[in-house]
Amino acid sequence: MILSLALDDLACIRGERTLFRGLRYSVKAGETLSLEGPNGVGKTSLLRMIAGFLAPAAGIIRLRTSAGDITEAELRGKLAGWFGHQDGVKPQLRVREQLAFYARLYGDGDAGETMERFGLAPLAALPGQYLSAGQKRRLALARLTLMGRPLWLLDEPLAALDRAGRALVARTVAAHCAEGGIAIAATHEPLGVDCETLNLERLA
């Protein structure tokens, strides 16, 4: 059970440039946070910091759980579900194979049921190379729910999706947070979910 994610005096330096500093923010379980700001302001970098890929130049990221606080990057990553701006869809593997792989890799998801829920069942036998950009996003979203992680990190989740796809993202994120999860999304458009907004531009 996670209780909250606290960003404490976080700074991000990429190359020689300071993207943001003095970032303090806290997201409670059940909340959605939308990261905003123009390109290059550090939205993706912040998501990668929270996932534990990138070490912050200063500050601490603290994940409060019912079993105690987690500050170590690698442990935090094991609670994070990643939805990057790249789809991670393999052209040679069938839709069914890709979902079954992540279900086994992450533990105990039900790939068949998830495929039904995301309308991917008719595409199950199709290799990834024949999917449209929107279908790949749908597959990535299905994969995210399959991972069963409490902390969702979404980078441009609405890109390449049609109206029904956007509604699906909004419903999925809302359902995740209603179950006590946290979702943090970097986005240029309104998510369509009840959420807090953090604009990184003011911290530059």
Question: Nearer to other proteins by C-beta: 75 or 164?
Answer: 75
Residues 187 and 157: beta-carbon distance below 8 Å: yes
CA distance 202 to 24: 12
Question: Nearer to other proteins by C-beta: 3 or 54?
Answer: 54
Question: Nearer to other proteins by C-beta: 25 or 106?
Answer: 106
CA distance 184 to 155: 9
Question: Nearer to other proteins by C-beta: 98 or 187?
Answer: 98
| Nearest-approach distance from CB 47 to other proteins, in angstroms | 10
CA distance 72 to 83: 21
What are the C-alpha distances in Å from 1 to residues 28, 63, 68? 12, 11, 10
Residues that bind other proteins (CB under 8 A): 48, 51-55, 77-78, 80-82, 84-93, 97, 101-102, 104-107, 143, 149
| Nearest-approach distance from CB 203 to other proteins, in angstroms | 21
| Nearest-approach distance from CB 136 to other proteins, in angstroms | 10
Residue whose C-alpha is closest to residue 161's, from 182, 189, 197, 184: 189
| Nearest-approach distance from CB 147 to other proteins, in angstroms | 8
CA angle 197, 201, 204 (to 5 degrees): 135
